[in-house]
Amino acid sequence: MRITVAQLNYHIGNFQKNVELMTDAIQKAKLENADLIIFSELSIPGYPPHDLLEHKDFIEKCEEATNAIALKCTGIAAIVGAPVVNQGNSGKKLFNSALLLKEGKVSEIINKSLLPTYDIFDEYRYFEPSTDFHLITLNGVRMAVTICEDLWNEQGFENEFSSSRMYQVSPMDRLAELNPDVIINISASPFSANRSEMKNRIFREKARKHSLPLFMSNQVGGNTELIFDGESLIIDPRGEIYDKLEAFRPDLRTYDLDDVKRGRALASNDGSTYISRIYDGLVLGIRDYFSKMRFMSATLGLSGGIDSAVTLAIAAEALGSDRLRVLLMPSVYSSEHSVTDAVQLAEKLSIKYDIVNIGESFDSVKKSLKPLFDDLPEDVTEENIQARLRSTLLMAVSNKFGNILLNTSNKSEAAVGYGTLYGDMSGSLSVLGDVYKRDVFKLALYINRNVTVIPENSITKPPSAELRPDQKDTDSLPDYEILDSILYQYIELQKPASSITGEGITPALTTNVIRMINNNEYKRFQAPPVLRISSKAFGYGRRMPLVATY
């Protein structure tokens, strides 16, 4: 048997586009004499469709698209992912299903058993879990078809709560009792830079445990916050990676099942690193956000600091310099370097820029407020006024020229509330909102790996909001290396305060940082969507009560 793995970039609800992508892949697979082509989880509607699944006409369009693809399946079979109506008398209205299409119709249906409800997943909201386990036979080959979580139910989290406790059954163990010849897995597994190796290990262990070849098709592309890296896997019965499809781009490859069983590995080290993968993921996230939303151009506030510099460089790679226009908005507190560094970067990237000094506007607002404030001393109020004036100018450019505003705040700042609501927290998409400050510096060095793009001064000067004289981030925050260590242990690892340790970390400091995190939940609730590159990003994958004390 020859099997084609299709790794495609789907657009949620764009049935015409998805059908075109899939039928084109089927034609290519036919040219390679494939017997079977496999697509990813919920490939028909695109993943994740969220509450669109509650609309009857959306489900009907899923069925129409499935039937259209089935008509192309003559002389070849396909496994696609789609929601299927539950015909039973109880339970949720839908199943999350894998459908075998052959000879122009739906031939077999496998329903997903394990429905994740952690982090960004909420599948039990829509789907009924299956309790039926059976194989699919095609051309004499017995296939154990699994849907994402059904195969890697024993994955471990970074914290003490292992997902192996979440489920009472292992679908693959049940299917293994039926003596399959191959494991097929269709996935929609979002990118997480700190869990890529774990994902590979899980699939390798499953193939080794059952001594079976494994074919996994994963989605690629960006869907709002979520970035899918692809990297579909083909693993031999000894648990060795036979091949891995491209990262962060569509790919399609065909394999002879007997070759995979023999284990002649094709995979090689792609040379990617933790930081290069974050960079590639953010580029894809921006590019797909704009293309799928049909946004044409972007803007941001270029301050001369490292966050806006890295954001601009990534956006230029994703969209092209001709689709960007930035504002430099110095104040009386801005250093000379801030303006010259920002100009140097914009010119290096050939990006149109405008300089609008906010000093006059700031003085005007203070004059208007003087009768209210009387002789009260200046404080954070005046700092925030400047940030909000900059946001007003950026949104004016956005409205006038149609440029979508990119937010440049990093995860460290967002975590502790070091940002101004309706000011520097404004934007339609947060590019660095899941990137800790220490990794922002690493991204800058990566961007400069071959040629200096980001000015050296933007990287080496002490971070500052420049909203008061001689201001430094460290006036309000611990050193970022220490802060980020606390944040990672508390947010990603979900450690209690008493277990957070490390160089320079004290119980008092930990308590203070956690208090800042919890007290600023209301700010993050109003922040733009954050491109997710970690296992625990701010947004709907981390749901905390606003009104709470803990």
358-414 pLDDT, tens per residue?
Answer: 999 999 999 999 999 988 999 999 999 999 999 999 999 999 999 999 999 999 999
* pLDDT greater at residue 155 or residue 464: 464
Active-site option among 62, 73, 148, 292: 148
Which of 147-156, 272-281, 426-435 is least confident?
147-156
What is the average pLDDT score of the chain? 93
112 flagged as catalytic: yes
Active-site option among 41, 123, 466, 492: 41
What fold characterizes domain 2-260?
Answer: Nitrilase/N-carbamoyl-D-aminoacid amidohydrolase (3.60.110)
pLDDT at 154 over 80: no
Contacts 24+ apart (CB under 8 A), 417-422: 417/516, 417/519, 417/520, 417/523, 418/473, 418/476, 418/477, 419/387, 419/523, 420/383, 420/384, 420/387, 420/388, 420/391, 421/523, 421/526, 422/388, 422/391
42-91 pLDDT, tens per residue?
Answer: 999 999 999 999 999 999 999 999 999 999 999 999 999 999 999 988 89
pLDDT at 338 over 90: no
Active-site option among 62, 102, 108, 112: 112
**Are 409 and 440 contacting, i.e. CB atoms less than 8 angstroms apart?**
no
Residues of the chain with CATH 3.60.110.10: 2-260
437 flagged as catalytic: no
225 flagged as catalytic: no
pLDDT band at 9 (very low <50, low <70, confident <90, very high): very high
Look at residue 254 and give its three-state secondary structure. strand
| DSSP track, 280-291 | HHHHHHHHHHHH
Residues of the chain with CATH 3.40.50.620: 277-471
Residue with tokens 């505003």: 405
Look at residue 391 and give its three-state secondary structure. helix
* pLDDT greater at residue 272 or residue 415: 415
> pTM of the prediction?
0.94
Q: Tokens in use for 479?
A: 């050193």
Instruction: Give 277-471's CATH code, choosing from 3.30.365.10, 3.40.50.620, 3.40.50.1000, 2.160.20.10.
Output: 3.40.50.620
What's the chain's length in residues? 550
CB 542: neighbour CB atoms within 10 A?
14
